[in-house]
Structure 1
Amino acid sequence: MALRTLRHRTGGFAASFLSMFLGATVIMAFAAMLDTAGGAGVDDVSEETLVTMASVVGGWGLVIVLAAVVSTMTLSVRQRASEMALLKSVGATPFQIGRMIVGEAAVVGVVASLLAVSLAAGGGWFLLEMLQDTDQVATSVDYAFGPAALSIGIGVTMLAAIGGAAATARRTLRMRAKDAMTAAAIESGRMSRKRVIAAIVFIAAGINCGVLTATIFDGKGIDAMQTAGQASIWFSIGLALLGPVLVRPVTALLAGPLRLVGGSSGYLAVENVRRRTQQMAGALMPIILFTGIATGTLYMQSIENGAPPVAGSSIPPDEAQAIETLNFVVIGMLSVFAAIMVINTLVATTTYRRREFGQQRLVGSTPPQVMGMVGMEGVVLAAAGVLFGSIGSIVTVFPYSLARTGELLPDTTLAIYLGIVSTAALLTLASCLGAARKAIRMPAVQAVAV
């Protein structure tokens, strides 16, 4: 049944496949630095740089990739809640349904991982070339892509895929068939206790890194990046996990203006966001991560570039270029991945609503009204993502500015922040409206029948 579902619903697994494919690519590309560091004739300095690049950048990439894969798997399983409830009503056991879901995730994970190998090999080679061009790794070091890259990349992707599918399906499988059908029709806005605890742990870790940056690393120069860079990542992940709760106050704040400007479309947009906080939270997560991580890392590097060198730093001045390159690699890799996840998740969420759009059109809504409703939902998501992503970046920007310049507010340009915010808003609105436009091309009667 798992293989038949994949065969007949390939579009429904597109978001999960893309997140696994890109995740495996990123992880394997950086893990290849471990294979390269273990090669013959690699000097100690080059080996240290390669291992650092793989462990630091690859480690953070691993955290973001796990979050993205689990998020898309969660979205995929939730969208099929009514299907699973129907299977239970005709006699399927929870174990059979769970095995089907895990089997689907495993197949998608295997295919995505294998297809990612060639792209990851090219990405790892490009990364080594960049390190050699900036004189951080000797030009005599030969590139290697082998056991470390394959085992780590495939292993993590499969773990995230199967774990995400199993964890998400668990709640639905515990319900009776009747209760599952009701839950599929009426979404609950409650978050699980485990998710709340995980969010608190991540937020606490981010705050802790920010406090360490402003206290222990005060006056230590570029050493403060050791904790400052982690702060916005941990904090942003924690806020992203709280998405179902965070989207509500933003919706309440924007409800009046949206209803005033959009009329019936604005009213429907507000009600949809309020009643679908879980789905909206899945789309909100990559927006928060993109905004928080990009803002925190770019401003941290901007502050460092304008700050005077400190004699007490354990990092020699000639290694500053290596640190700057590392930061830009981090922000480039994570931001591109998060941006793709914004598009991927929003397109998957909006495309799934084809039937809903058809029903609205059958009861009198025009295509422009449907597009207006989706656009206003995108405004809410963009506003919430930018707001809480900006809050997530504060635990990096303010402590690092205090540690390096003695001032809480950094003396840097607003252009960086405006560019990040504009990019996040543009990606959100373009993804929502583009997917909605494609969805309403289908005749309303046919969309309802699908």
Structure 2
Amino acid sequence: MMRLAVRTLRFRKGGFVATFVAVVFGTAIVLACGGLMETGIRSNVPPERLAAAPLVVTAKQSHLKPGAEDGTPLVERAGIPSSAVAALRGVEGVTAVVPDLTFTARPLVGDGGSSVAPTGEGHAWTSARLAPYKLTSGHPPTAPGDVVVDATTARTAHLGTGDRVTLLIGGEPKSFTVSGVADGPAGHSFFSPAEAAKLSPHPGTYSALGLMVAPGKDLETVRKAVERTVRAAGASELGDLTVLAGIDRGLAEHLEASTQREALIAIAGSFGGIATLTMMFVVASTLALSAQHREREFALLRGIGTTPGQVRRMILGESLLVSLPAVLIGLMPGWLLGRFLFDQLAAHGVASDVIEFRQGWIPFAAGAGAAVLAAIGAALIAARRSAKIKPVQALLEAGLQRRWFGWIRLFFGLIALGGGTALVIVTGTVMTGPLAGATAGPAVLCWAIGIALLGPFWTKLTLGLIRWPLYAVSRVNGRLAIRNVTARSVAMSAAVMPVMLAVGISTANLYMQTTQLQASERAFTEGLRADAVLVSSADGLAPSVLDEVRRTPRVASASAFVTSVGVIDEPRNAPFDEEGAPLQGVSAQDSSGTAPVRLTAGSLEHLTGSTVALPDRVAAKIDRGVGSTITMTLGDGSSVDLRVVATYAATPGYESIVLPAELLAAHTTSGLAPQILVRFASGADPVPTLAKLAATHPGVQLADRDTLVAANSADLKTQAWVNYLLVGLLIGYTGVSVVNTLVSATIRRRREFALQRLTGATRTQILRMLSSEGVLITFAGILLGTLTALATLIPFSNAVAGTAMPSGPWWIYLVIIGAAALLVFFSTLVPATTVLRRAPAESTNRPD
């Protein structure tokens, strides 16, 4: 039967092109997602500044909440207590423990130092050996005003030994004398140990420890000994420490690579799963359509004595002969697509650009295996009925319409619809805010697959609803098309379902993003009362800037503003997921202050020291009111006991925990507040004065309240952009399915077109008939796709924004349905025009 399968491919090349294209694109998408997943899991960051240390010790950048199974990532750099240095020096095989201090030290560049360099870090000179840095001129820093700069910075800023350089440290410009220039990784400055300790925002702790290992010692043995020492000392003495070796040491230098790996893995996993299911469905539907078009051939084979097993083996052989080369061809675009997606994620801040993109044999095997398994499974399903049918019955049914669906298809279709219904109910009744997307996204796919599996029923129902209005306004060709589509409604569902899939998935996913984005912005701006904001383009504002703003005439109120992420440890039933609770830090203020909250109890005047203000829903959930206490772990892993001084109203799902700005800033990586909220006195306009004040501080800018809103929604916009990109790939893939299906179905009808022409129909009349059929297919697909999207969007919008109408511009929907209509007409009329160029007699003799 393999020989027969090969010969079949030779004479039916066009019939298998659709399957070939579907497998190529499916392999590429799944392989790209596998590359993103492997990159996130490995998170390979080559060490630079710590490259000379065989082992690097860092504080663990995650927190395991009591009673939780998964840890919450710490978004701020956790510090290592100074006591760890002495404890690790005694480990056998460790010859030296080199502590590292890391803090922001950005050079002022431009005319007169008017702008701040985009990067720059400061360290103690004792840690220079970890690269190692080698002095090319001058001497190490010894005096408080000395600094050693790297050779790249020296060349860029035209610095030499004895020159003066101004660095922005702690939000304030500080001038130093260049005592030396060192050759090593760029963007780093070195100070004397005493000076570095004063400049560090977190005295008494280190960013990392570099461990030097004795020559000849087994590195793995020493690493295990260090881990045993850490466990023996306990977290109460040394903190929760992690020992890094090999390429993992680079994670100690780039905090963002560690904190963003979870996001990269989540994106790759969720999108990869959806893409795999979509690929399997598209490949299965394409092969099923191909088998359906060959029923007459299978009927004849069964009639001359071919056994069911032989028919199955032939169809399976054809599938393998098509899918295996397609998989091999899809590997290269899959690698390129994965690289492109990673570069885009890195460019938009979702992934760290210092991580090495990795796409080893596992993603290749996963992509190829998924594609081949999808093709094999689809071939077995497609061959099931053709192989089991009796020969006489096959000859009778070859020219007849297939039954609507079998029991297996009915079962899985109802299961998918039931799953979609359950997810929609959970979305509308349980989920709130951004969390609603976790169930709404899979609900769309369940609805789409369920409707597609029961496609003949939905297609017949939809065509029955829309054919009468079109029949009333149609002419002869249009009425012929309506009668033709109605008679072939079951077969026509194969053309309608890809359109439904493309419209439903794209509409639902795009409007979920626009709805969530607008709801987030509205939730933040409802309580925002600031008229202007001072923003630092570096890592934060000096504390003295807040005092200067408050002394500015016509300023009614000013507050520092800090954001971070933390975890409520006690009580344990706080309504936040494993990503943690958003934190906002503001200064103590009265009712006329700038804090973006609407108080319902207590006052922010007492928001000082170890205090907190809770949203009403959170306070009710954990049963804590004004005067009670909670225990939290802040962004750097520090545990604090907080007294509740106020509660406030907030949109469900968008709640933030409010803490004193001084407390929260002290537990961030920079130790500074990045923004200052300003409220003007009634009828006053101190903008010119504030602009002059900002100009006196390098890296400080004055902006209106819209800037604050934009900053608040920046993360969500980035996530929305990522989803736009990934959804665009799915739309493109489902678009391939639309083209494949319609082109194949149109070419298959060449005998029908030939008979119509032999009975007197012209090419123009046939094209008009097909245009009318295209209108029906487009309307049916758009209607079913829109209903699929609305079934998810309505409960999602109600959970996210409190309204049944999703938010977003209408042009998105118009573009989607316009593109669907264009694909339908292109995939129908172009191949039909090619077929009609042949003589009718020639078309009747060609195979389907």
What TM-score bracket applies, with the shorter chain setting the length? Answer: over 0.9
Question: Residue 275 in 1 paired to residue 459 in 2?
Answer: no
Match for residue 202 of structure 1?
A: 416
Question: Residue 36 in 1 paired to residue 39 in 2?
Answer: yes
Match for residue 251 of structure 1?
A: 463
Match for residue 743 of structure 2?
A: 347
The one-letter code of the counterpart of 1:328 is: Y
The one-letter code of the counterpart of 1:24 is: T
**Corresponding residue SS for 1:92:** coil
CA distance in 1, matches of 2:487, 2:411: 24
User: What is the correspondence of 1:39-438 to structure 2 with a 5 Å cutoff?
Assistant: 39=42, 40-41=44-45, 43-218=257-432, 221-308=433-520, 314=577, 316=582, 319-438=715-834
CA distance in 1, matches of 2:798, 2:258: 35
The one-letter code of the counterpart of 1:385 is: G
Deviation at 1:402, TM superposition (A): 0.8
CA distance in 2, matches of 1:401, 1:393: 12
CA distance in 2, matches of 1:227, 1:93: 46
CA distance in 2, matches of 1:217, 1:31: 29
CA distance in 2, matches of 1:217, 1:443: 61
Deviation at 1:446, TM superposition (A): 0.7
Task: Answer yes or no: is the 8 Å Cα contact 2:506–2:727 preserved in 1.
Answer: yes
User: Could you list the per-position Cα deviations for residues 135-184 of structure 1 after superposition, in whole angstroms to 9, with x for gaps in the alignment?
Assistant: 22221211122222211111111111111111111112111211111111
CA distance in 2, matches of 1:226, 1:292: 18
**Corresponding residue SS for 1:307:** helix
CA distance in 2, matches of 1:170, 1:283: 21
* C-alpha RMSD of matched pairs (Å): 1.9
**Corresponding residue SS for 1:181:** helix
Could you say if the C-alpha distance between residues 126 and 418 of structure 1 is closer, same or farther in structure 2, counting changes exceeding 3 Å? same
User: Could you list the per-position Cα deviations for residues 192-231 of structure 1 after superposition, in whole angstroms to 9, with x for gaps in the alignment?
Assistant: 111112121111222222221222113xx21211112222
Match for residue 20 of structure 1?
A: 23
The one-letter code of the counterpart of 1:444 is: P
- The structure in which a higher percent of residues are strand is 2
CA distance in 1, matches of 2:515, 2:473: 40
Could you say if the C-alpha distance between residues 363 and 23 of structure 1 is closer, same or farther in structure 2, counting changes exceeding 3 Å? same
User: Could you list the per-position Cα deviations for residues 5-31 of structure 1 after superposition, in whole angstroms to 9, with x for gaps in the alignment?
Assistant: 112211110111111111111111111
Percent identity, please.
Answer: 33
Task: Answer yes or no: is the 8 Å Cα contact 1:300–1:396 preserved in 2.
Answer: no
User: Could you list the per-position Cα deviations for residues 348-380 of structure 1 after superposition, in whole angstroms to 9, with x for gaps in the alignment?
Assistant: 110111121111111111111211121111111
Task: Answer yes or no: is the 8 Å Cα contact 1:102–1:162 preserved in 2.
Answer: yes
Could you say if the C-alpha distance between residues 406 and 294 of structure 1 is closer, same or farther in structure 2, counting changes exceeding 3 Å? same
**Corresponding residue SS for 2:351:** coil
User: Could you list the per-position Cα deviations for residues 382-418 of structure 1 after superposition, in whole angstroms to 9, with x for gaps in the alignment?
Assistant: 1111111111111321112111221112344322222
User: Could you list the per-position Cα deviations for residues 260-286 of structure 1 after superposition, in whole angstroms to 9, with x for gaps in the alignment?
Assistant: 444432333223223323331111121
The one-letter code of the counterpart of 1:415 is: W
**Corresponding residue SS for 1:137:** coil
CA distance in 1, matches of 2:454, 2:775: 19
CA distance in 2, matches of 1:139, 1:249: 51
The one-letter code of the counterpart of 2:509 is: T
Match for residue 530 of structure 2?
A: none
Task: Answer yes or no: is the 8 Å Cα contact 1:206–1:395 preserved in 2.
Answer: no
User: Could you list the per-position Cα deviations for residues 82-129 of structure 1 after superposition, in whole angstroms to 9, with x for gaps in the alignment?
Assistant: 111111222221111110110000111101100001100000000110
- The structure in which a higher percent of residues are helix is 1
CA distance in 2, matches of 1:209, 1:69: 26
Deviates more, 1:331-340 or 1:313-322: 313-322
The one-letter code of the counterpart of 1:172 is: S
User: Could you list the per-position Cα deviations for residues 225-251 of structure 1 after superposition, in whole angstroms to 9, with x for gaps in the alignment?
Assistant: 111222222112211222211121332
Deviates more, 1:283-292 or 1:250-259: 250-259
Task: Answer yes or no: is the 8 Å Cα contact 1:189–1:277 preserved in 2.
Answer: no
Task: Answer yes or no: is the 8 Å Cα contact 2:413–2:453 preserved in 1.
Answer: yes
Match for residue 2 of structure 1?
A: 5
The one-letter code of the counterpart of 2:449 is: I
Could you say if the C-alpha distance between residues 413 and 140 of structure 1 is closer, same or farther in structure 2, counting changes exceeding 3 Å? closer
Task: Answer yes or no: is the 8 Å Cα contact 2:19–2:286 preserved in 1.
Answer: yes
Deviation at 1:253, TM superposition (A): 3.1
Matched pairs, number: 448
The one of 441, 444, 450 equivalent to 2:837 is 441
The one-letter code of the counterpart of 2:515 is: I
Return the index of the structure with the highest Cα Rg. 2
The one-letter code of the counterpart of 1:3 is: V
**Corresponding residue SS for 1:308:** helix
The one-letter code of the counterpart of 1:380 is: L
Could you say if the C-alpha distance between residues 265 and 145 of structure 1 is closer, same or farther in structure 2, counting changes exceeding 3 Å? same
